[in-house]
Amino acid sequence: MNGEKVLVVGGGAGGLLVSNLLVGDGREVTLVTNNPEHYFQPANLFIAFKGESPESYKRSVESLLDPKVRLILDKLSKLDLGNRTALTERGKRLEYDYVIVAAGARMDYNSLPGMKENFEMFGDYYSSPEAAVKVWNTVSRMKNGKLIIGVPDLIIKCPPAPHKGVFLAAEFFKKEKRDVTVELLYPSPHIYTEAELAKTIESKMKSFSNIEYRTSFLIDSVDKDRKVVIGMNGEEIKYDALVLIPFHKGPEIDVNPAEARDDDGFIKVDKRKLNITSYDDAFAIGDCNNAPTSKTGVAAHLGAFVVWKRINGRNAEYSGRTNCPLITDDEAIFVISDYDHKPVGQRFSRLKRLMEDLFVAMYFPSLRYPRKFEPIFDVYFNATEPNILGEKGW
Amino acid sequence: MGDKKTVDARGMACPGPIAKLTRAYREAKNGDVIEILATDQGFIPDIKAWIESTGNKLIELKQDGGVIRAVIEVTAKK
Ligand SMILES: Cc1cc2nc3c(=O)[nH]c(=O)nc-3n(C[C@H](O)[C@H](O)[C@H](O)COP(=O)(O)OP(=O)(O)OC[C@H]3O[C@@H](n4cnc5c(N)ncnc54)[C@H](O)[C@@H]3O)c2cc1C
């Protein structure tokens, strides 16, 4: 088969899906990934605010891969797009007919003074399950005072995840009858980046007596000794515990040519075809690319299918579709948008919360057996397209 | 005179152009000028609200074809 040698970089949601899909066509697929385990990132919230065990949300990469995929546990350090070669950290040289980079986003703690020390002290629920355990260690022991969840930057995975943390934390403190206030510091002028959804979220926040929030608050730095967050206008807010959402940057891979990456290291792609700009044998999917949409598992999932179809000569395109759940303990909404539609209006409902639980239950099997699960996802995505939900919302 | 930076947030609906502005604003100092290009219609009320609440200066806000162009002067950093 022509173009049979495929190199996939990164064993996360996007990389596992695309590897399993392409190997099923009879191609020779090699996956290079630097973590032998794959964990379900949204579950960091359940670890951080419900004390759940990280083990339930982890699987070995090997168990999620079709055994025909050749797995290399190593970091990819160099990728030469012109010569179709790559080099791993341990010095393995690889050649390919097609490459798909799915290396996710890298968390950066150095763009804000005090963030690194704060991360070491309190952890967060973005970086890893272990960092989320750290959050739980703080939250579960807090008896009173203020927990701040600070969002310094908005180019982040699952944009409603900071809010999810606020709701889950507030619910925990309420249930435990603890005198702790949860405050969200948010940089945009509304409590969510889109004004209509912001109203829905805001009224839900107001129904909690222990949630506070500030909008247009631009975090400049953290002073851990005085326990204050300092805004860019000089304003200071006191905390007892602080969780900061880290900055997101592109993966640590030396890509040649360097122009294939943007200023933040994200890989530049055609936002619909997902090929790395000016190469038709190289793609980047999921959090590592610069497509102007949210960084979500759904983008990685849909991107994997687009690339699989395109490599097979079909004319698939990625619409920019997002589907980010914002959950409370018993209700949810989904932030649904695409390149041509801003997020559609939403109402909190219990049924959507149940749907989210179903997605969680389907997660690992759907990575391993993407062809089997696709009809279910197709039904859902087609029925909930932004132009179908339209003005009426959902 | 400060520096001038252009932020291209065209085609960005979710998260909106304010996400890109936030990144540029972090790097900027008082006196700098940031030009933002966007196509998301929500950006017009959003940038007005952002200016109002952060106390920076809006020098220009224009729509030409489908493209919104906002120019702000950074004045409210400590
Ligand atoms: C708190 C939280 C809640 C979220 N909630 C949701 C949600 O409800 N719904 C949703 O759709 N999305 C959600 N997301 C986002 C979602 O988890 C990510 O968008 C998704 O995992 C992206 O998949 P990916 O394959 O692009 O990257 P990842 O899953 O991050 O995988 C990248 C992989 O590449 C590997 N790697 C990195 N660099 C290299 C290298 N140089 N060489 C080799 N391997 C490398 C990494 O080890 C990793 O295994 C959430 C994220 C967080 C943090």
> How much is the average pLDDT of A226-238?
97
- Encoding tokens for residue A246? 């880290």
Residues with CB under 6 A from ligand 1: A 9-15, 32-35, 41-42, 44-45, 75-76, 102-104, 125-126, 157-158, 161, 251-253, 286-288, 295-298, 300, 324-325
> How much is the average pLDDT of B58-74?
96
> How much is the average pLDDT of A307-312?
98
Q: Are A239 and A146 in contact (CB under 8 A)?
A: yes
Range from A1-5, A144-148, A384-388, B61-65 carrying the lowest mean pLDDT: A1-5
Range from A29-33, A178-182, A192-196, A255-259 carrying the lowest mean pLDDT: A192-196
Give the distance (Å) from ligand 1 centre to CA of residue A63.
18
Calpha distance A115→A341 (Å, rounded): 34
With vertex at residue A58, the alpha carbon angle to CA A60 and CA A16, rounded to the nearest 5 degrees, is 55
pLDDT per residue as tens digits for the range A113-164: 999 999 999 999 999 999 999 999 999 999 999 999 999 999 999 999 999 9
CATH number of this structure's domain A108-247? 3.50.50.60
Sign of CA dihedral A22, A26, A28, A34: positive
Do the bridges between strand A37-39 and strand A58-60 make them parallel or antiparallel, or are there none, so unpaired? antiparallel
Determine, for residues A320 and B13 on separate chains, whether the beta-carbon distance falls below 8 Å. Answer: yes
What is the residue-averaged pLDDT of chain B?
Answer: 93
Determine, for residues A159 and B13 on separate chains, whether the beta-carbon distance falls below 8 Å. Answer: no
Of A111, A233, A292, the CB nearest to B78: A233
pLDDT per residue as tens digits for the range A166-215: 999 999 999 999 999 999 999 999 999 888 899 999 999 999 999 999 99
Calpha distance A390→A59 (Å, rounded): 38
Phi/psi for A257 (5° steps) reads -80, 155
pLDDT per residue as tens digits for the range A325-337: 999 989 999 999 9
**Residue given tokens 């990456």 in the structure block:** A261
Give the distance (Å) from ligand 1 centre to CA of residue A10.
9
Classify residue A389 by burial, with Cβ atoms within 10 Å: 0-12, 13-18, 19+.
Answer: middle
CB atoms within 10 A of CB B11: 17
Calpha distance B14→B77 (Å, rounded): 27
Q: Is the pLDDT of residue A32 over 80?
A: yes
Of A111, A155, A220, the CB nearest to B19: A155
Instruction: Find residues 41-70 of chain B whose CB sits inside 8 Å of chain A.
Output: 41-42, 45-46, 49-50, 52-55
Classify residue B56 by burial, with Cβ atoms within 10 Å: 0-12, 13-18, 19+.
Answer: buried
The closest alpha carbon to A172, from A212, A141, A193, belongs to: A141
In chain A, the residue whose alpha carbon lies closest to the alpha carbon of B77 is A233
Instruction: Find residues 19-38 of chain B whose CB sits inside 8 Å of chain A.
Output: 19-20, 22-23, 25-26
Classify residue A103 by burial, with Cβ atoms within 10 Å: 0-12, 13-18, 19+.
Answer: buried
The closest alpha carbon to B22, from B45, B54, B59, B62, belongs to: B54
DSSP sequence for B28-63: --TT-EEEEEE--TTHHHHHHHHHHHH--EEEEEEE
Q: Is the pLDDT of residue A271 over 80?
A: yes
Q: Is B13 marked active-site?
A: no
User: Rounded to a whole number, what is the largest CA-CA distance in chain A?
Assistant: 65
> How much is the average pLDDT of A276-302?
96
> How much is the average pLDDT of A20-44?
97
**Is residue A1 very low, low, confident or very high in pLDDT (cuts 50, 70, 90)?**
low
CB atoms within 10 A of CB A133: 18
Q: Is the pLDDT of residue B13 over 90?
A: no
Calpha distance A358→A338 (Å, rounded): 23
pLDDT of residue A390: 85
State the catalytic residue, choosing from B8, B10, B12, B14: B14
Looking from the CA of A231 toward its CB, the CA atoms found within 13 Å total 18
Q: Are A135 and A120 in contact (CB under 8 A)?
A: no
Q: Is the pLDDT of residue A24 over 70?
A: yes
Extents of the domains making up chain A: 5-105+250-392, 108-247
The closest alpha carbon to B38, from B57, B61, B14, B12, belongs to: B12
Determine, for residues B12 and A342 on separate chains, whether the beta-carbon distance falls below 8 Å. Answer: no
- What's the order of all strands across the beta sheet hosting A5-9? A70-73, A28-33, A5-9, A98-101, A282-284
Q: Which helix (H) or strand (E) holds A202?
A: helix A195-206
- Encoding tokens for residue A86? 């790559």
Does A5-105+250-392 carry CATH code 3.40.50.1360? no
pLDDT of residue A2: 62
Distances (CA, A) of A366 to A8, A46, A362, A388, B30: 18, 21, 6, 25, 50
Q: How big is the A-B interface in CB pairs under 8 Å?
A: 94
Q: Is the pLDDT of residue B12 over 90?
A: no
ipTM of the complex: 0.93
Q: Is the pLDDT of residue A342 over 90?
A: no
Amino acid present at A190:
H
Amino acid present at A135:
V
**Is residue A272 very low, low, confident or very high in pLDDT (cuts 50, 70, 90)?**
very high
Calpha distance A207→A330 (Å, rounded): 14
Q: Are A30 and A4 in contact (CB under 8 A)?
A: no
In ligand 1, the atom with minimum distance to the C-alpha of A303 is: 26
Q: What is the DSSP letter of A21?
A: H
Determine, for residues B78 and A232 on separate chains, whether the beta-carbon distance falls below 8 Å. Answer: yes
- Which residues in chain B are closer than 8 Å to A160, comparing Cβ atoms? none
CATH topology agreement for domains A5-105+250-392 and A108-247: yes
pLDDT of residue A3: 65
pLDDT of residue B1: 67
Q: Are A102 and A8 in contact (CB under 8 A)?
A: yes
Classify residue B48 by burial, with Cβ atoms within 10 Å: 0-12, 13-18, 19+.
Answer: middle
Q: What is the DSSP letter of A55?
A: G
- Which residues in chain A are closer than 8 Å to B9, comparing Cβ atoms? 292
In angstroms, the separation between the Cα of residue B36 and the nearest Cα of chain A is 15
Cis ω on the peptide bond leading into residue A257 (within 30° of 0)? Answer: yes
Amino acid present at A87:
L
